[in-house]
Amino acid sequence: MIIIGLILGYLIGAIPTAYIFGRIYKGIDIRRHGSGNVGATNVFRVLGKGPGIIVLLLDILKGIVAVALLPDILGFTETLHRVLFSVIVVCGHNWTVFLKFKGGKGIATSFGALIGLTISLAAIRPVLVWTFVAWVTVFLITRIVSVSSIIAATCLPIIMALTGQEIMIICLGCVLCIFVVLRHRPNIRRLFAGQEPRLPLSFGKKP
């Protein structure tokens, strides 16, 4: 039964919200525009603030549903179960079966998974808060989403350890951190080349 649950969790994560929204909103394949990434940041750049916010919230919601709601429905409520669902929903987003296993970078869905964990594990709430603070602080300084994401992801397992989380939660933080770094390899190359774009603090839909 746990295998069926994890498959469902993967499929929830695999819903390519950015791709679907690009098709519905403007009839385009988001993979052929901007950075080509199937994620909220590229939607912000290509379609504008409104669509970007919607996709961001939907990607976060995928993580919440897969970690907080689905395990309860299926009766898998142990911490280990929720950790497994956290990993699998992010895998679904990053490597979606619906787009030949090419997906987003997992930041919003990872954040949603953490929110899902805090719903049942109150001790993780400081981790969520401080990781979010780290992301926002770096973004306000650099206005580069990839830098903010990489640094926040790197801080995640450290914050987990400093707040006394159990070992399986810290392991989850390490896995999510590795996922983020691996998915941001092209961004890291552009950063070293000085070519990574900045996201303005105020922007609207591109004409």
pLDDT by position in tens, the chain (length 207): 899 999 999 999 999 999 999 999 899 999 999 888 999 999 998 999 999 999 999 999 999 999 999 999 999 989 999 999 999 999 999 999 999 999 999 999 999 999 999 998 999 999 999 999 999 999 999 999 999 999 999 999 999 999 999 999 999 999 999 999 999 999 999 999 988 888 776 544 443
Report pLDDT for 202.
Answer: 57
Pair 125, 118: CB distance under 8 Å: yes
Position 204 scores a pLDDT of: 43
Please state the domain extents for the chain. 2-192
Residue 60: CB partners within 8 Å, gap ≥ 6?
A: 108, 109, 111, 112, 115
Residue 102, classed as helix, strand or coil, is: coil
Distance CA 78, CA 45 (A): 40
